[in-house]
Structure 1
Amino acid sequence: MTAAPGVPGVPGRDAAEPVPARRARDPRTWPWWVQALAVYAAARAFSAVVLLVVASRQVASGWTGASPGYADYAGLMWDATWYRTIAEGGYPAQLPVGADGVVQQNAWAFFPLYPLLVRAVMAVTGGSWAVVAPTVSLLAGAGAVLLVHRTVVRGAPRAVAARPGLPLATVLLVSVFPTSVVLQVGYTESTALLLVAASLLAIVSRRYGWACAAVLALGFTRAVALPMAVVVAVHALVRWREWRASGTRPPARDLAGIAAVGVAAVVSGFAWLAICGWVTGVPDAYLQTQEAWRGAATTAPFAGWGYVPAFWFGDAAPWVVLAAAAFVVACLVTPSAWRLGRELHAWSAAYLLYLAAAVEPGSSLARFLLLAFPLAAATAGVVTRPRAARWAWTGGVAALMLVLQVVWVWQIWRFEPPAGWPP
């Protein structure tokens, strides 16, 4: 067969007939990682626009001038300046104490991995904190959503089978979460989310050496390593049941690996407290520092649930707390939550209980909830069939979250002197 004249190499095509244009590739056929990064990039672009719009209405503060640019607004506001202080000057050798003898707010409340990472990048690139810190957070967040996707695939196979597309839907809900703007500012959430997802993925994949490394790094990023010990215990129970059902003898290597991850979680949970006490010479230096940020000078477990709700809701506070607890329990016992893998479900429950015990329930609580990302999978998995209905549900939840994100940035991230509620 010969080619048609004027159209070399195209047999039988008339020269006057146009060659059809190449059809655009369906995004659903893109590699999983491209889809996840595309969703993350779109969400971060939305957040960037919100930050720019709100920054144009920001009055001058101790962190920035009036109407700051994007870099300053993302890299210097609120706790970002504390991390900058650590990156540029380290930690104080002695705890600052006021005239009343009470420890004042100081850098020991903030963990070192993120500011030291930014400092290293600054040294290599020569960039300023305001530029480098948000960029590091943005890139860490990109890595985090990739690991979140893989963690849902490996750790929640039943949920994925019931709701195809669940890993990408989880990435979407995490990326548009009302406080997800912190994934692109000078805060530690991106790094912490990356390490939480890495820890869970390594555990469910039974790569215990990697799990130890991720959990130990997590302990120097945020004070959230202890709940991972519960995940390890649940994982050990899952493995034991598998060995018992199959009648096989547990491999010594796996037993040692699981034990090592458990020890790493406990050590990681207390390492920074010990270092803080050792350097300053005050054994409970970290706890005294935390008290400086609280409405009452106490770090007793669950203490904040007595005075904070009472401040906001008065006599109705007990009912509000009860309703909040009932809502959390309901989220953890829904069918879509139970379809999550045991380790992912355990992390969600243990982490939320840990937050309730260790954190004052103030304005920062919404930001801390970002690390409970398996609940995003549970939310997306509420509707399983048909395909149009499940994506309509996910899209509706995502739209609501975007609206709440605008409200959060305007009400919380924007500072109105003389005082405000910290993000």
Structure 2
Amino acid sequence: MRRADPRTWPWWVQVLAVYGVARAFSAVVLVVVAGHQAANGWTGASPGYVDYTGLMWDATWYRQIAETGYPDALPVGADGVVQQNAWAFFPLYPLLVSVVMTVTGGSWALAAPTVSLLLGAGAVLLVHRTVVVGAPRAVAARPGLPLATVLLVSVFPTSVVLQVGYTESLALLLVAVSLLAIVSRRYGWACVAVLALGFTRAVALPMAVVVAVHALVRLREWRDSGRRPPTRDLVGIGALAVTAVVSGFAWIAVVGWATGIPDAYLQTQEAWRGAATTAPFAGWTYVPAFWFGDAAPFVVLGAAVVVVACLVTPSAWRLGRELHAWSAAYLLYLAAAVEPGSSLARFLVLAFPLAAATAGLVTRPRWARWAWTGSVVVLMLVLQVVWVWQIWRIVPPSGWPP
């Protein structure tokens, strides 16, 4: 019997196959590393796969939210400083998992990784479609780019978080939905996705930049064609811009209202920082020095050069304006809003258009394209093993949070 050529499979089957193999690899890595895990505050020694993916690190905070909700008041230490608490974490993901728990009767440790795994599957399907619709020039230059993008996202060193009790799967899905809806000019759906994003992760504000870039693209199209802008589109773009800004501050406002302290969310965030400040870019003044000492300025400069280089390569410019804008705005937002610690690598999963830019660096001949992509995949898989061993595995009494 003749075996079917995978290249003839429907696109969605190919995407899910790539995602499934990648997640199976990560599962094996997690199981092996779990065998070397010491007892800690979340699990016993050598925990099983379910506990290791459902209870470790921030997953327990989300579990607390799903099972008991948020605290009525901010916990304060003897020094009057706000302590770490559940208000730092957004509600949509634990709400979805709690619904699944109620319907199935399953535990958090089983339901949360399962929900993440399934949301991740939906996310990579949408990533594929977003690249197809949003980056036609890049796809024309590099055939197979949408699937290659899915492959690089699926094996990214921190892609393990797509199958644990974390929000990355849901956030990736909503970012992809938002971008796909914007480039498809379905502004109503984009508003829904962006609003949901604001209750999933603190990443809605960069989407306002994407909306602004999209508006400029549409205005240029109308000007060049001599057509009058349709009222419906103007209203849709305007509503989406407002939604993105509102969504970016919505959770901050909700936390302030619920606790009676206007800046409660920011005070809570400070509890996780090496210095008690959430000022933009402040983390870059002390974290690099902690890691690299006197060499810190050179390391930061080198990192900035690499980021800029990624954004100005021909393969990056071939991305659609909206996908390129998301990559640039999101990276700048991370630099401004996030302390540059061990969690930063996890946050990069949402910058998936850069995976398309990476895969599109080599366009021909065909063997060179796949040799390049294969080399990147091997490097990412090696780094994934390193990340799980060094970061996800905790060596009591403390560790660097993923």
Distance in 2, matches of 1:161 and 1:184, equals 32
Aligned partner of 2:23 in structure 1 is: 44
1:249 alignment partner, one of 184, 204, 228: 228
Q: CA deviation at 1:128?
A: 0.3
Q: Does 1:74 align with 2:64?
A: no
1:352 alignment partner, one of 331, 338, 346: 331
2:300 alignment partner, one of 298, 321, 324: 321
Local SS of the residue matching 1:202: helix
Q: Does 1:390 align with 2:374?
A: no
Amino acid at match of 1:331: C
Deviations 1:302-329 (A, max 9, x none): 0000000010111111111111001100
Distance in 2, matches of 1:387 and 1:37, equals 23
Q: Does 1:337 align with 2:316?
A: yes
Report matched runs for 1:255-266 at 5 Å: 255-266=234-245
Aligned partner of 1:165 in structure 2 is: 144
Amino acid at match of 1:279: A
Aligned partner of 2:209 in structure 1 is: 230
Deviations 1:228-270 (A, max 9, x none): 0000000000000100110000000000000111111000000
Q: CA deviation at 1:93?
A: 1.1
Deviations 1:5-43 (A, max 9, x none): xxxxxxxxxxxxxxxx3x111100000000000000000
Amino acid at match of 1:345: H
Distance in 1, matches of 2:388 and 2:32, equals 10
2:67 alignment partner, one of 83, 88, 104: 88
Q: CA deviation at 1:288?
A: 0.2
Amino acid at match of 1:340: L
Deviations 1:256-286 (A, max 9, x none): 0001111110000000000000000000000
Amino acid at match of 2:290: F
Local SS of the residue matching 1:295: coil
Aligned length: 402
Distance in 1, matches of 2:25 and 2:51, equals 18
Amino acid at match of 1:281: G
Distance in 1, matches of 2:374 and 2:306, equals 22
Aligned partner of 1:287 in structure 2 is: 266
Distance in 2, matches of 1:100 and 1:302, equals 26
Distance in 1, matches of 2:147 and 2:368, equals 16
Give the gaps of 5 or more residues in structure 1.
1-20
Q: CA deviation at 1:385?
A: 0.4
TM-score, L = length of structure 2: 1.00
Distance in 1, matches of 2:362 and 2:119, equals 30
Aligned partner of 2:255 in structure 1 is: 276
TM-score, L = length of structure 1: 0.95
Distance in 1, matches of 2:144 and 2:267, equals 46
Local SS of the residue matching 1:316: helix
Local SS of the residue matching 1:105: coil
Local SS of the residue matching 2:286: helix
Amino acid at match of 1:298: T
Amino acid at match of 1:419: S
Q: CA deviation at 1:162?
A: 0.1
Distance in 2, matches of 1:418 and 1:392, equals 43
Distance in 2, matches of 1:163 and 1:327, equals 22
Report matched runs for 1:133-172 at 5 Å: 133-172=112-151
- Structure 1 segments of 4 or more deviating over 6 A? none
Aligned partner of 1:178 in structure 2 is: 157
Aligned partner of 2:355 in structure 1 is: 376
Local SS of the residue matching 2:280: coil
Cα-Cα RMSD: 0.4
Distance in 1, matches of 2:104 and 2:239, equals 37
Distance in 2, matches of 1:66 and 1:52, equals 12
Distance in 2, matches of 1:64 and 1:323, equals 39
Percentage of pairs with the same residue: 86
1:296 alignment partner, one of 236, 261, 275: 275
Distance in 1, matches of 2:20 and 2:184, equals 27
Q: CA deviation at 1:388?
A: 1.0
Deviations 1:172-205 (A, max 9, x none): 0000000000000000000000000000000000
Q: Does 1:100 align with 2:79?
A: yes
Deviations 1:125-183 (A, max 9, x none): 00000000000000000000000000000000000000000000000000000000000
Amino acid at match of 1:242: E
Aligned partner of 1:310 in structure 2 is: 289
Distance in 2, matches of 1:391 and 1:159, equals 16
Q: Does 1:116 align with 2:61?
A: no
Amino acid at match of 1:388: W
Distance in 1, matches of 2:228 and 2:200, equals 37
Aligned partner of 2:32 in structure 1 is: 53
Distance in 2, matches of 1:312 and 1:388, equals 40
Local SS of the residue matching 1:52: helix
Aligned partner of 1:26 in structure 2 is: 5
Distance in 1, matches of 2:323 and 2:377, equals 21
Give the gaps of 5 or more residues in structure 2.
none
Q: Larger Rg: 1 or 2?
A: 1
Local SS of the residue matching 2:41: coil
Report matched runs for 1:184-195 at 5 Å: 184-195=163-174
Distance in 2, matches of 1:42 and 1:24, equals 19
Local SS of the residue matching 1:45: helix
Report matched runs for 1:396-411 at 5 Å: 396-411=375-390
Distance in 2, matches of 1:403 and 1:394, equals 14
Distance in 2, matches of 1:108 and 1:369, equals 23
Distance in 2, matches of 1:56 and 1:285, equals 39
